[in-house]
Amino acid sequence: MSNIELIEDDLFPMPEANGEGFHIDSVEKAEWALSKIAFAEKRILDREMMADALIYRIKERLGDITKQDRDTVENMKAMLHPWAEVEITKQGKTKHVKLLGGEVGFRQSPARLEVIDTDAALSSLPESCIRIKKEVDKTATKKLIETTGELPDGVELVPGEVKFYVEAKGLQIEEKK
What is the DSSP code string of 95-142?
SEEEETTEEEE--PPPP----S-HHHHHHHS-GGG--------HHHHH
- Rounded CA-CA distance 90/128 in Å is 47
Q: Which helix (H) or strand (E) holds 9?
A: helix 3-11
H runs (alpha helix) in 92-137 = 118-124
CA atoms within 13 A on the CB side of 176: 0
3-state secondary structure of 93: coil
Q: Is there a contact between 7 and 135 (Cβ–Cβ < 8 Å)?
A: no
Phi, psi of 101 (to 5 degrees): -90, 0
pLDDT in single tens digits along all 177 residues of the chain: 566 565 656 666 666 655 567 788 889 889 888 988 998 899 999 999 999 999 999 999 999 999 999 999 999 999 999 999 999 999 888 889 899 999 999 998 999 999 999 999 999 999 999 998 889 999 999 999 999 999 999 999 998 998 887 787 865 544 444
Q: State if pTM tops 0.75.
A: no
What pLDDT sits at residue 22? 76
Q: Is there a contact between 121 and 141 (Cβ–Cβ < 8 Å)?
A: no
What pLDDT sits at residue 1? 57
3-state secondary structure of 104: strand
Q: Is there a contact between 41 and 170 (Cβ–Cβ < 8 Å)?
A: yes
